[in-house]
C-alpha cells in the first residue's frame, strides 16, 4: 500500500498544495514551524479521520477559512483508491472512491498508517489513556466493527455517568433505568475487552522477536493486558459478560456514591515487561525506547498479516530521538517494503543509505518544493 498523491486545501498553514510521492522513502525537510508535521498529520487524518495532535477539528482549518480538505490517492493490492475528507465547523464528511461514507467507522481502514513520533515514546512511560488510545486506533484500522462498538460504548458510558450523577444528587432514584444502561454497557464492554486481548496477544507475538533482535539477544519482551475486570486470559465472551455483570453489581453502591462508572474498558491499561520487570517503573530510557520501537515495528507486521498490505509508516521527527543502532534497525526493517514519510530538520546526522536514496521535499512557510 502506498500513497501516490496528496492534495491539501486550507489545511493548517497550507492554502493549497498538491504533491506526488514515490513508493519508497519520502523525506519532508525543513526548519521548525514551517509545516512538516502538518503534512504528516494530514496523511494521518486522511487515513484515520482524526488527528493524533488535537481533538478539536477546528484546529485543522486554516485561519479565517470555513473548511479544510484533504484528498489522496493510494495504490493497494486490491486496486486504486481515492479518499477525500472535508473538515468544516459543522463536522466531517468522508468519501471513498467518490462515494460518501455514512459513518466514519465505514471510512477508517481503507488507508492504513502507523505513526511514530517523539510522543509515542510515552506509550511505555505515559498514562494509561495514551496506551488505550494506541490500542483503539490500531484495532480500528483492521476492524470497523470495533470502531462502531467503541463509539456506542462511549455514548452509553456518558449516559450512564450522567444518570449516576443525578442519582448521587438524589435527582433520580429509578434503579431500573440504571439496570438497563448497565446491561447495554456490559455487552459492549465485553466485546471491546475480548478484541483488545486478542489484538495485544498478536502484537506480542510480533514484538517479542523484534525486541529480542534490537536488544542484541539480551532482553525478552512481554505485553500484558490489564482489564478492569478479573477474567482469565482464555475467557470467552460469555464469561467476560458474566464477570462484568458481577463486578457492576458489586460496585453499584460505590458508583452511585461517586457518581461515575468505576469499571470498564475506559479504565483498562497495558503493561510492558522486559526480562520480567515492568519497563514503565524499572526500565531505563534506552529500554523504554527499544520497547516503543519494537511495538511500532510489530504494528507494521501485524497489519500486513491481517490485511495483506503493509501500512504507510510516518516517522515524525523521531529519527533524531533514536541512537545510531536503533535508527539503523528501524530503517533496515522498512527497506523496500514499506512506504515511509520522514520529517526532519536535517538529514546530515542520519547515517543510512536509504535516506541518501530518498525523495526530498523541502518545506518553507506552508509551501513545498518537490524533488526535480
pLDDT confidence tier of residue 110, bands split at 50, 70 and 90 = very high
199-258 pLDDT, tens digit each = 999 999 999 999 999 999 999 999 999 999 988 888 899 999 999 999 999 999 999 999
Instruction: Check the annotation: does 189 bind a ligand.
Output: no
Is there a binding annotation on residue 35? yes
Q: Return the higher-pLDDT residue of 195 and 324.
A: 195
Long-range CB contacts for residues 209-218, cutoff 8 Å, separation at least 24: 210/294, 210/297, 210/298, 210/301, 210/333, 211/274, 211/290, 211/291, 211/294, 213/329, 214/290, 214/293, 214/294, 214/325, 214/326, 214/329, 215/274, 215/290
**pLDDT of the residue at 188:** 97
pLDDT at 324: 87
8 A C-beta contact, residue 147 and residue 135: no
- Residue 277 pLDDT: 96
pLDDT, tens only, 159-214:
999 999 999 998 877 899 999 999 999 999 999 999 999 999 999 999 999 999 99
Domains in the chain, CATH or no CATH each: 1-111+308-371 (3.40.50.300), 117-307 (1.20.1050.90)
Q: Which residues contact 315 (CB under 8 A, 6 or more apart)?
A: 116, 117, 330, 340, 341, 342, 343
User: What are the cell numbers at 233?
Assistant: 486470559
Tell me the average pLDDT across 18-26: 94
- In this prediction, residue 105 carries a pLDDT of 86
The mean per-residue pLDDT over the stretch 138-144 comes to: 90
Judged against a pLDDT cut of 80, whether residue 290 lies above it is answered with yes
Distance CA 178, CA 180 (A): 5
**pLDDT tens for residues 62-91?**
999 999 999 999 999 989 999 999 999 899
Whether 286 has a binding-site annotation, put simply, is: no
> Please, which residues bridge with residue 249 across strands?
none
User: What is d(CA 215, CA 102) in angstroms, rounded to the nearest whole number?
Assistant: 46
Please give the pLDDT value at position 39.
96
**pLDDT band for position 129 (cuts 50, 70, 90):** very high
Task: Please choose, from the candidates 217, 241, 216, 221, the residue with its C-alpha nearest in 3D space to the C-alpha of residue 231.
Answer: 241
Q: For a pLDDT cut of 90, what percent of the chain falls above it? A: 80
Q: Is 34 flagged in the annotation as binding?
A: yes
- Do 309 and 148 form a contact (C-beta atoms < 8 A)? no
Range list of H helices, 259-351: 279-282, 285-307, 324-334
pLDDT score, position 352: 80
Residue 191: CB atoms within 10 A of its CB come to 20
Give pLDDT tens digits for 266-281.
999 999 999 999 999 9
pTM: predicted TM-score of the whole model, two decimal places: 0.91
Residue 349 has pLDDT above 80, yes or no: no
What average pLDDT does the structure give for the chain?
93
Q: 137 is written with which cell numbers?
A: 486506533
Alpha carbon separation from 113 to 2, 108, 127, 159, 211 (Å, rounded): 10, 11, 23, 33, 21
Amino acid at each position: 500500500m502506498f500513497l501516490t498523491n496528496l492534495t491539501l486545501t486550507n489545511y493548517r498553514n497550507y492554502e493549497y498544495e498538491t504533491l506526488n510521492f514515490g513508493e519508497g522513502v519520502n523525506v519532508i525537510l525543513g526548519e521548525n514551524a514551517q509545516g512538516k508535521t502538518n503534512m504528516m498529520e494530514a496523511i494521518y487524518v486522511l487515513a484515520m479521520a482524526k488527528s493524533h495532535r488535537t481533538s478539536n477539528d477546528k484546529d485543522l482549518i486554516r485561519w479565517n477559512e470555513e473548511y479544510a480538505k484533504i484528498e489522496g490517492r493510494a495504490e493497494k493490492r486490491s486496486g486504486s483508491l481515492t479518499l477525500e475528507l472535508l473538515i468544516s465547523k459543522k463536522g466531517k464528511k468522508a468519501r471513498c472512491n467518490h462515494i460518501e461514507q455514512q459513518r466514519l467507522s465505514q471510512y477508517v481502514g481503507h488507508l492504513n498508517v502507523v505513526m511514530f513520533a517523539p510522543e509515542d515514546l510515552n506509550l511505555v512511560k505515559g498514562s494509561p489513556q495514551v496506551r488505550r488510545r494506541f490500542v483503539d486506533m490500531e484495532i480500528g484500522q483492521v476492524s470497523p466493527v470495533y470502531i462502531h462498538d467503541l463509539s456506542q460504548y462511549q455514548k452509553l458510558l456518558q449516559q450512564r455517568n450522567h444518570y449516576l450523577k443525578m442519582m448521587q444528587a438524589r435527582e433520580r432514584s429509578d434503579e431500573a433505568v440504571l439496570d438497563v444502561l448497565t446491561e447495554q454497557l456490559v455487552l459492549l464492554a465485553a466485546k471491546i475487552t475480548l478484541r483488545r486481548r486478542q489484538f495485544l496477544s498478536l502484537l506480542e507475538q510480533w514484538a517479542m522477536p523484534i525486541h529480542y533482535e534490537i536488544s542484541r539477544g539480551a532482553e525478552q519482551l512481554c505485553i500484558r493486558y490489564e482489564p478492569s475486570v478479573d477474567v482469565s486470559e482464555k475467557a470467552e465472551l460469555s464469561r467476560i459478560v458474566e464477570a462484568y455483570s458481577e463486578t457492576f453489581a458489586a460496585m453499584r453502591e460505590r458508583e452511585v456514591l461517586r457518581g461515575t462508572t468505576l469499571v470498564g474498558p475506559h479504565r483498562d491499561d497495558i503493561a510492558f515487561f522486559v526480562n520480567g520487570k515492568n519497563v514503565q517503573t524499572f526500565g531505563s530510557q534506552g529500554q523504554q525506547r527499544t520497547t516503543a520501537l519494537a511495538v511500532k515495528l510489530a504494528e507494521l507486521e501485524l497489519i500486513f498479516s491481517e490485511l495483506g498490505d503493509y501500512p504507510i509508516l510516518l516517522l515524525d521527527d523521531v529519527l533524531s530521538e533514536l541512537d545510531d543502532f536503533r535508527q539503523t534497525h528501524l530503517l533496515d526493517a522498512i527497506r523496500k517494503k514499506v512506504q515511509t514519510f520522514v520529517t526532519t530538520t536535517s538529514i546530515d546526522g542520519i547515517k543510512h543509505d536509504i535516506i541518501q536514496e530518498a525523495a526530498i521535499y523541502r518545506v518553507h512557510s506552508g509551501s513545498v518544493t518537490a524533488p526535480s
